[in-house]
Chains A and B, each alone.
Chain A
Amino acid sequence: MKLTDLAILFIIIIIPTSLVLDIRTKNIEAAVYKRIEINKILETVIEDGVSSLIEEGGGVKNFSLNKEKAIEEVLTSLYNNFNVLDKSTDAIILQGYISCIAIIDYDGYYLVSNQEYVNSEGYKEMKLICGPKKSYSYYEDGYVYSFTLDNYLKIFDSWDNSLYIDTRDKIVEKLDEEGDSYPDFLSDDELFDDFRRKKIIELLQRDINYTINKHNLVARQFGISYYFSLPVLPEEDWFKTIDDVGMIMFFQGMPIGVTGEKINSYATGVTRIVKGEKYYISEEEVEPGVYIKYYHKPGCTEIEDDSRTFDSKKECAQNGYFPCPVCFPY
């Protein structure tokens, strides 16, 4: 055989494998882009949901959650982004990929999952149904602690049936007065915060895990063959989730590539109710008789009077205030 023939034969052998590999790389690339796209969609969806979650009541802790509207908004936004019609078959399947939505309230949480229910016409239907509220409670040595998203808590003492509802430091003061002993985690703000977060996250993880596992049964009826399980979330994400009133949604099992890749993703959205967003304002005398108006971030050393605030940077600028050169509230 001639040398050229050998070379051509070699190319004929190598081309199919090379082509197949090329196609596979392209497929993986397409799947990566799809995953990024879906993640963006989920972010938008959860933001839409969170924005309609809060029913204004005015004040810091004076609000109510409109869970049904938030779920509806999540679904509408999801359908819009995936370009499917409401109540169509596609929409129902899309809904089946939502394995769990957790709504984080100030003193408890709700889990939303797909459940079978009989509608008014007597037909069975799959619907995202919101479960009952569960409080962030923890039991130890005859005491029931109900935590909230800040340092406010309820303690029920089952020994003498007394109930304490207040912030941590005030409850400790009261317990000290009565001569009662209390666990270590109540003694210090930082310790309490760590403990509270740990307990809330434990509760959430256990319940979400259970709900997602239960979704396996429901998903089969949607025709989805995917093993649903709780994805690994970095600790920071759990911490962020319980920082403020918000939502976390798990979206899993949707095929995103021809080589069998499935999406396994989640999106979180938080409001700013508990923490709030405030800018403090002050006037500073830079030269005798010359005042400059400044606005500050909370905690800035230049704040003289913490009763005068604005809600946004825009509002501060509208009233002629400059960003403070010390705390840079840009």
Chain B
Amino acid sequence: MADSFSKIVAIFLAALLLFVVPIKNEFERIDNTSRIYVLNETAKFVDSVRNLGYITPFMYQDYIGRLEATNNIYEVRLEHSIKTFDPVYSDPLDEDTFEGDYLVGFSSYYNNDILPVLFPNFSVDDSDRIYKLSRGDYFTVTVFNKNKTMATKLQEMLYNGDVPVTKIYVRYGGMVKDEAN
């Protein structure tokens, strides 16, 4: 009896050590490599947008294509913040009420504002499919994976519980240095 019990334990242990451990290790390493790759590509994309001051459909598609090479599904959030200066009037329709002051604020634009410019629903000239940014604006990209990676699936099976889905999370951004004419 004790013998058969130890045999079961031995088979279980062996399966764990022979198959599960190396596979789990390998999958986790794939996630790590993907994260490095995504970070690298995101930095490249954001830096070129910041240097050039515009986004073209090609730049965006190229970037998305590179992300897809990791076999994951990503959520890509573009964020474009513009510093605004608004003069302070107590009544904007009356010039005399200008208080000689201004307020500084940010207005931000996201995927829903940026992507329709790059990929419009109606046919427009190619030269109009450029999203322009101005010098001094801020441009940030946040990327994270939406699908469960193989490592996550394996971990869920082993730990029999929920594991956070986001394994790859990259946020990169900065000030725009130049602008399109």
Residues of A whose CB lies within 8 Å of any CB of B are 2-4, 6-8, 10-11, 14, 18, 21-22, 25, 28-29, 32-33, 35-36, 39-40, 43, 47, 234, 236-237, 240, 243, 268-270, 272, 275, 277, 286-287, 290-293, 313-314, 316-323, 330
Contact = CB atoms under 8 A, between A and B. Distances in A.
Given A317-B87, A317-B102, A11 B14 contact: no
Interface stretch (B28-36, B121-129, B138-146, B155-163): B28-36
Contacts of A2: 10
A11 B134 contact: no
B89 interface: yes
Nearest to B6: A4
Interface string B6-35: 000011011011100110010001001101
A329 to B, nearest CB: 8
B51 interface: yes
Contact of A320 (B40, B95, B172): B95
Given A28-B36, A32-B39, A286 B93 contact: yes
Nearest to B52: A236
Contacts of A268: 51
Most chain B CB within 10 A, of A7, A18, A36, A291, is at A7
A21 B18 contact: no
B95 A270 contact: no
A6 B14 contact: yes
B51 A237 contact: yes
A29 B36 contact: yes
B85 A25 contact: no
Interface residues of B, number: 44
Summarize A's interface: helix, strand, loop or mixed: helix
Nearest to A26: B32
A326 to B, nearest CB: 15
Nearest to A315: B85
Nearest to B25: A18
A314 B102 contact: yes
Contacts of B85: 313-314, 316-318
Given A240-B52, A292-B92, A11 B86 contact: no
8 contacts: A11-B21, A18-B22, A29-B36, A32-B40, A36-B39, A237-B51, A316-B85, A318-B87
A320 B98 contact: yes
Given A240-B52, A293-B95, A270 B178 contact: yes
**Which one of A21, A243, A293, A330 has the greatest number of beta carbons of chain B within 10 Å?**
A330
Contacts of A291: 95
A61 B84 CA distance: 30
A28 to B, nearest CB: 6
B107 interface: yes
A10 B17 CA distance: 8
A275 B181 contact: yes
Contacts of B33: 25, 28
Given A10-B18, A240-B178, A268-B51, A321 B87 contact: yes
